[in-house]
Structure 1
Amino acid sequence: MNNKRILITGAGSGFGEGTAIGLAQLGHQVIAGVQISPQVTALRLKAKELGLENNLRVERLDILDPYDVNYALTWDIDILLSNAGMGEAGPVFEIPVDLVRRNFETNVFAPLDLAQKFIAKFINEKRKGKVVFTSSMGGLFTPAGYGIYVSTKHALEAIAEALQNELKPYNIQIQTINPGAYLTGYNETMADNPFRWLDDSKNFTKRADMRATFDSLLGTPEGRLDPKEMIDAMIEIVPSETGKFRNVVPKFVEDMLKDHQLKAWENTI
């Protein structure tokens, strides 16, 4: 495999950080875009400790900051791994709509804007390119309590599928990566978010019931998977020039999603 120049957004922690390090260790030239300045210092120190200074460049890239985005467009890359995201959870019929808008801004509009700009750059330069979106198992089904977050990933799935078809004439590849419930802290933080606004004196949904819903999903071994499995898969998928459009890991989650989608045709009110 030829070494690639790869930009990763949301590389300050979790899958993004692990994938950035793993790809750099394989010899790829990686730019790790992180959201806040303290993450820049921390990851640069880690890169130095691992002897990766020549392969792993760390830059601040808040995808909601137009100045950061414009600077990122000066970087010469072959692959964009659009990994940055956040999650709002809670009952769809009660969650404040401004939080919904914020989640779509971070998970859909900003990644689409960044992808469009890099795609235009690839096309104008008349060369191959690739965009990989970190979606979710939640992009393919909707568990109670997570409807808003997974709706952003449903949207991302649709965008990616359209892009794949539209960009074939330009030799630009599109993929999605759909992680299961890995223990990176991301899902756990998302599950805490509703308790900023849920109020037992005002909301129909009670805090204890909401916590029980989250615990039923995240408190099992299937909800606390070792993220190394996902990171290893991403390290293989992202630079590859062949592979599946949609990449669900682990396999038992892929099987569950296929079964869920079949059963959806028999769902009744």
Structure 2
Amino acid sequence: MTGPILITGAGSGFGKEVALRLASAGHEVIAGVEIIAQVSAVRAAARERGAELRVEKLDVTDPGDRENAWSWEAEVLLNNAGVSEGGATADLPEERLRRQFEVNVFGTVLLTQGIARRMAARRSGRIVFMSSVAGLTVDPFTGAYAASKHAVEAFADALDQELAEFGVTVATINPGPFLTGFNDTMFETWKEWRDNPADRLFDYEYDPEPVHRRTVQVLLGEDRRYRHLLPAEMEPQARAQVDGQWDRQLNDGRRPALVQKAYDIAPGTPVGP
């Protein structure tokens, strides 16, 4: 590997842990964090692990930050920065909806454009998008987030085909509902839900270790698959949900089971009749 590994959204969650692991293993890593306040915290975490880690402010929605990042000549890019907005599609405020796409889609793609052109000129490089299972499927009240991740999937797929002749590879990581300081913002009261955990669609106690481990393998080129749905146990469910769209009928006017489940979860019950 001739150049550094650039990781966006490295101030917390998956991005931070992957950056620290790679740096601890001796790789040249640039940890991009959204705000200046995160710089010292991530540097301190690196010192605790005895790792040499370069930490830079990189808000993907800031044109100046993106331009600075283009000059770092990253050989590998992990687009990990993202936000998650929950709520019914008809209720989402315009500014929150726009913010969802500014970070997850526009800022991410604009940053990638400049880096991809440099990779193409060098005829080498690797671009990895931290997508989500929500980039493949969608559930009620996650429309904004899922839509942004579906858009990321489309850009990633197109890039993979467009950059192939230039020696650049593209891959996606599709985590399920791991709690990393990110997903638990969307489901911040899950520990107080007064339901039977056995009845839930997802296990909110998932260990994020599989995502950390697999992401490192993908960034280092040790795993050559394009898509990585994690945990692997979710893959059959996701495939069935995607395939089911071909036979889907118009709704019959009754509340779908997934919407009812959302209403039944307390204390975060949506408003409604």
- Structure 1 length-normalised TM: 0.85
Distance 1:184 1:95 in 2: 24
Q: Is the 8 A contact 1:10 1:85 kept in 2?
A: yes
Distance 2:105 2:199 in 1: 24
Is residue 161 of structure 1 aligned with residue 157 of structure 2? yes
Q: Deviations over 1:229-261 (max 9, x none)?
A: 211111111111651111111111112111111
Deviation, structure 1 residue 97: 2.3
Residues 123 and 50 of structure 1: CA distance in aligned 2, closer, same or farther (over 3 Å): same
Q: Is the 8 A contact 2:73 2:115 kept in 1?
A: no
- Structure 2 length-normalised TM: 0.84
Distance 1:148 1:166 in 2: 27
Aligned residue in 2 for 1:95 = 92
Aligned residue in 2 for 1:240 = 221
Residues 139 and 215 of structure 1: CA distance in aligned 2, closer, same or farther (over 3 Å): farther
Q: Is the 8 A contact 2:218 2:224 kept in 1?
A: yes
Residues 228 and 242 of structure 1: CA distance in aligned 2, closer, same or farther (over 3 Å): closer
Q: Is the 8 A contact 1:164 1:174 kept in 2?
A: yes
Flag structure 2 segments of 5+ consecutive residues without an equivalent. 251-273
Q: Is the 8 A contact 1:4 1:28 kept in 2?
A: no
Q: Deviations over 1:70-101 (max 9, x none)?
A: 21122122101010000111000121122111
Is residue 184 of structure 1 aligned with residue 183 of structure 2? no
Distance 2:63 2:160 in 1: 26
Distance 2:222 2:10 in 1: 22
Residue correspondences, number: 248
Q: Pick from 118, 137, 157: which aligns with 1:141?
A: 137
Aligned residue in 2 for 1:50 = 49
Is residue 131 of structure 1 aligned with residue 127 of structure 2? yes
Q: Deviations over 1:172-229 (max 9, x none)?
A: 111111001111121221246xxxxxxxxxxxxxxxxxx98x9989977623311122
Describe the SS at the equivalent of 2:247.
coil
Aligned residue in 2 for 1:174 = 170
Deviation, structure 1 residue 25: 2.0
Q: Is the 8 A contact 2:11 2:38 kept in 1?
A: yes
Distance 2:11 2:112 in 1: 19
Residues 23 and 191 of structure 1: CA distance in aligned 2, closer, same or farther (over 3 Å): same
Runs of 4 or more, structure 1, over 4 Å off, are 214-221
User: What do you get for the CA RMSD once the two structures are aligned?
Assistant: 2.5
Q: Pick from 88, 101, 104: which aligns with 2:101?
A: 104
